[in-house]
Amino acid sequence: MAKKTGHVAVPFLLTIFIGLIIVGGGALFAWRYWGLGVIEKPSEPVPRVDGVVTSEDNHTILLILDSSNELCPPTFVLMRSQPVKEQLLLIGIPSNSIALVDDEQIGISDKYANQGSEGAVDFVEKVFDIKVDRYMKFGDEGFKKACDIFGGVSYPVNADIAGFKNDGSSQFLNSDQALMFITYTMFSDGESERAFTAASVVASMINQTDGQYISDTIDNSFNSLINITESNITSSDYKERKSAIKYLFEHGNAFAVAFSLNGTNASEDFIPSSSFIASIKDEYFSEK
């Protein structure tokens, strides 16, 4: 009897096993048929189309001119580019700007002197409450190279500088003259006026240039500037923004605008206006 039981048990177990496969397979089919238990894979990111300009192309760069002129402090210009709106904003930041951040008084020149370009960037980010994507620091030769790329500038000069007409009339400035004008330290309104003058000269230079020529020669211009300046802009950054920059110069019409940073003079210091900064942020730094 024991042997007979053993022979019956094997086919019985096989029958149960096959039954489980059939029932389980049917249940799995129904589970998947009704969409139950299916884990959806995340969709692949849609690649950006070359030549299409969006708000993703907006970027902010702090421009710094550290001249060999020992009498002139560093020059700071904040540049906000919005190619999709065909806008380029330039704000001159006085070198004697100070602000109270987290109960600590900080100054842009002190930050720059102690921490270099990244220190100046940190000041701007904290005071303006924005993200500065990159910086570019020019020496005399780097600034003059940039002027040569844009072809100089015609600008009304109201400074008593040898070789200039000090009557407020517009006159053409080559790269040497533009550098001399921007680093002039005797403006009647001090560093506030000099900072605005720097931003305004750069804006005028951009608006007066041949945009198509800049677009056509952009690769050579970038290589020339990046090799003669100090910057954390990489070749990848350039490739990512190249189409948007070309679009701006090809389609923009007098698209660069300069702003004077409103604020209060306090002895030898300049305190930026928080309300002015808020209005600038809302207009130029929001993604609306």
pLDDT digits (tens, 9 = 90+) for 65-84: 999 999 999 999 999 999 99
Residues 112-138 have a mean pLDDT of 97
Is residue 236 scored above 50 in pLDDT?
A: yes
Q: Specify the pLDDT at position 48.
A: 42
Cα dihedral angle (234, 238, 240, 243), rounded to 10 degrees? 180
Please provide the average confidence, as pLDDT, over all residues in the chain. Answer: 86
**102 or 183: whose pLDDT is higher?**
183
Residue 84's CB is within 10 A of a number of other CB atoms, namely 17
Split at pLDDT 50, 70, 90, the class of 51 is low
The better pLDDT of the pair 161, 2 is held by 161
Cβ contact 164:177 at 8 Å? yes
Residues paired with residue 97 on neighbouring β-strands, in sequence order: 270
Report the pLDDT value the prediction gives residue 102, as an integer from 0 to 100. 87
Given this model, what pLDDT does residue 31 score? 38
Residue 3 pLDDT > 80: no
- Look at residue 49 and tell me whether its pLDDT is greater than 50: no
pLDDT classification of 159: cutoffs 50, 70, 90:
confident
Q: Which long-range contacts (CB under 8 A, 24 or more apart) does 9-16 make?
A: none
Percent of the chain having pLDDT more than 90?
Answer: 74
Give tens-digit pLDDT for 184-218: 999 999 999 999 999 999 999 999 999 999 999 99
Q: Is the pLDDT of residue 250 over 80?
A: yes
Closest CA to 222 of 213, 211, 233, 212: 233
126 or 9: whose pLDDT is higher? 126
CA distance 68 to 61: 22
Question: Cα–Cα distance between 232 and 287 in angstroms, integer?
Answer: 24
Q: Is the pTM of this model over 0.95?
A: no
User: How far apart (Å, rounded) are the C-alpha atoms in residues 288 and 282?
Assistant: 9
- When pLDDT is averaged across residues 146-155 and rounded to a whole number, the result is 97
Higher pLDDT, 228 or 41: 228
Averaged pLDDT, 275-285? 93
| pLDDT of amino acid 288 | 59
Average pLDDT, stretch 127-155? 97
